[in-house]
Chains A and B, each alone.
Chain A
Amino acid sequence: MDFRPTQEEILTRKNAREFAVKYVRPLAAEIDENHRFPEETVEKLAKYGFMGIPYPGEYEGAGGSFLSYIITIEELARECASTAVICSAHVSLCCWCIYHWGTEEQRRAFLPNLCSGRKLGAFALTEANAGTDSAKQETKAVKDGDKWVLNGTKVFVTNGGYSDVFIVFAMTDKTKGNRGITAFLIKKEDPGLTIAKVEKKMGVCASSTITLVLEDCVIPEDRVLGGIGKGFKVAMTGLDGGRIGIAAQALGIAESAFDETVAYLKARRQFGKPLSEMQALQFEMAAMRTEIEASKLLVYQAADMKDRGLEYSMYASMAKLFASETAMKVTTKAVQFLAGYGYSKEYPLERMMRDAKVTEIYEGTSEVQKMVIASHIFKEER
């Protein structure tokens, strides 16, 4: 067992931090305030090779490991959680499903544009009546000769307003439940696609979250991803990897909030001494630091298992469950410790606290993560 980062991981973190400090930090407060999708940052992420880190050069990816990609999400999230989730939804939900489940023709048709960042990807699974119970898909796809016709409405589609490619899940055989769901590759220019609503959110305000309506969306049959009836598996593959991305996002938020708090406690004097000399606060900070470190180990372990081709689903859920709850705890306490300054929009802590909350919700709530973990525990015991 070796907990030391490799040369590549050291350089990845250094470069990602340099990028994030230079291009992400200056915009973070403004894009949150104005609920503005940072197109200029996405262009820069593409230019600097961040939009396809874990994919091979033949698809115009950077050829790195999943762990290296996870480190970049952590570093981006330190500065701006919205920017981190734009990258994460694109890389680990959209691109990964195509890379893992696509035919060679589909990979060649879609991945170079996505991995280079020339185009942006999204993943459209959730519906108004199919959230955690994602098998209750009401979007339908019907075969018509050599075409498929899709009808339905998807909600909470991350990146949706700016995406060129959507992975859309639809019921192709209602009688089969989970096994009746099929994944489709949909392009922005396909007929019958409408963005019906742009979501207003509590946090990650600069990421685009939309409702996507498909009305007689006709697409050729070669857009089926992973085979007919394999949609649920495709979705779970995407979410397993995606959860490590969200866990890394939560980790970055927690680390950043923690660092801000340390600096504040050292500088702020009350009752004739710095707050950092008060044991009640020291103990709280010690516990927080320990939980952040535990999150980090869980996140890196899950990513490393994925790189090694091991079964990592349960570990991804553990990483997300623990890292997101740690981020919520750390940011909430950070706001409390900074008190008025924590609550004020002049400082980044209140934004971090709002951003942290969603990490306990999207790509599977904390409750879903517990369901996944429990299913593995009891599957193992049989």
Chain B
Amino acid sequence: MKILVCVKDLESSDLNALNAALALTEDVTVLTVGPYESLTALKEALARGALRGILVTDKSMAGSDTLATAKILKKAIEKAGNDFDLILTGRESKDSATALIGPMLAELMDLGQITNAVKIGEGTAVKEEDGMVIEVAYECPVLMTVSRDMGTRDAYDMSGIFDRKPVEIWDAEDICIDKSEVGEKGSPTKIIRIEKAVAKTDGEWIEEDTAAETADRLVERLREERTI
């Protein structure tokens, strides 16, 4: 079995996808699209046991949205041989967590897809959806997005770090993708503004024996909080 795993950062469900792949076969390729710094995640994937690492990086790709990224991944997979039985991605990344890349890539590649897999067997996989556990049959090639609930995090053999397996580094030209299809130009998603969501804190219930006492206690609390 030949598996390709798309990874962004190994702090997310991408690590679960990698571990799921390594549990199924030794022939694991890891693929990352991102800035040069993404090399660390790829090196870690190789240290954890993947055989082949590919980084696709190009200045023109900065600002790519999920669709543009999925297009880049498709082109890179074609260059990588396009002979994978299974393509795995984490369910969602740690930062934007859209959970879109996997399904988009499957559509672009015209592959069947199983989302949020919690268990991968031979010919069948188990996925979770809306609180339901669903066992589905699949035929290769197929794409699956892997849940964070699959497997557990663990350290790995230190010697993997020092094996010094090389990473293949490709740019837009290498994967034959038109620069107009990537980056901000190739991204239909336009982000107007990002701001931090403010989490609402629990309220505090004030109730004393009488309305007057309750009012006094309220004033006291507001003074403590320096609201008044």
Residue of B nearest to A23 (CB): B155
**B159: CB under 8 A from chain A?**
yes
**B168: CB under 8 A from chain A?**
no
Other-chain residue from B153, B155, B162 in contact with A8 (beta carbon distance below 8 A): B162
Say whether, besides A7-B39, A19-B155, A48-B157, A63 and B162 are in contact (CB < 8 Å).
Answer: yes
**B197: CB under 8 A from chain A?**
no
Q: Name A1-54 residues within 8 Å CB distance of B.
A: 7-8, 10-12, 14-16, 18-19, 22-23, 47-50, 53
Interface residues on A, range: 20 to 34
Say whether, besides A7-B40, A11-B40, A11-B44, A22 and B161 are in contact (CB < 8 Å).
Answer: no
Say whether, besides A10-B40, A11-B43, A63-B163, A18 and B158 are in contact (CB < 8 Å).
Answer: no
Other-chain residue from B39, B43, B156, B163 in contact with A48 (beta carbon distance below 8 A): B156
**B154: CB under 8 A from chain A?**
yes
In the complex, chain A residues whose CB is within 8 Å of the CB of B162 = 8, 62-64, 68
Q: Measured between C-beta atoms, what is the minimum distance from B170 to chain A in Å?
A: 19
State in angstroms the CA–CA spacing of A10 and B43 once bound together: 10
Q: Would you call A57 and B161 a contact (CB within 8 A)?
A: no
In the complex, chain B residues whose CB is within 8 Å of the CB of A7 = 39-40, 43
Q: Would you call B153 and A18 a contact (CB within 8 A)?
A: yes
Other-chain residue from B39, B154, B157, B159 in contact with A18 (beta carbon distance below 8 A): B154
Q: Would you call B161 and A48 a contact (CB within 8 A)?
A: no
**A72: CB under 8 A from chain B?**
yes
How many chain-B residues does the 8 Å CB contact rule pick out? 16
Q: Is the interface of A mostly helix, strand, loop or mixed?
A: helix
In the complex, chain B residues whose CB is within 8 Å of the CB of A11 = 40, 43-44, 47, 161
Q: Would you call A64 and B40 a contact (CB within 8 A)?
A: no
Say whether, besides A63-B163, A64-B161, A15 and B155 are in contact (CB < 8 Å).
Answer: yes
Residue of A nearest to B42 (CB): A7
In the complex, chain B residues whose CB is within 8 Å of the CB of A19 = 155
In the complex, chain B residues whose CB is within 8 Å of the CB of A12 = 158, 161
In the complex, chain A residues whose CB is within 8 Å of the CB of B157 = 47-49, 62
Cβ proximity bits B144-178 to A, threshold 8 Å, 1 near / 0 not: 00000000011111111111000000000000000
In the complex, chain A residues whose CB is within 8 Å of the CB of B154 = 18, 22
Q: Would you call B158 and A50 a contact (CB within 8 A)?
A: yes
Say whether, besides A7-B40, A7-B43, A10-B40, A15 and B161 are in contact (CB < 8 Å).
Answer: yes
Q: Would you call B161 and A18 a contact (CB within 8 A)?
A: no
* Chain A to chain B contacts (Cβ below 8 Å), 7 pairs: A7-B40, A11-B47, A12-B158, A48-B157, A62-B157, A62-B158, A63-B162
Residue numbers of A with Cβ under 8 A of B are 7-8, 10-12, 14-16, 18-19, 22-23, 47-50, 53, 57, 61-64, 68, 72
Q: Which 7 pairs across A and B sit closest by C-beta, in order of nearness?
A: A49-B158, A19-B155, A62-B159, A63-B162, A49-B157, A18-B155, A62-B158
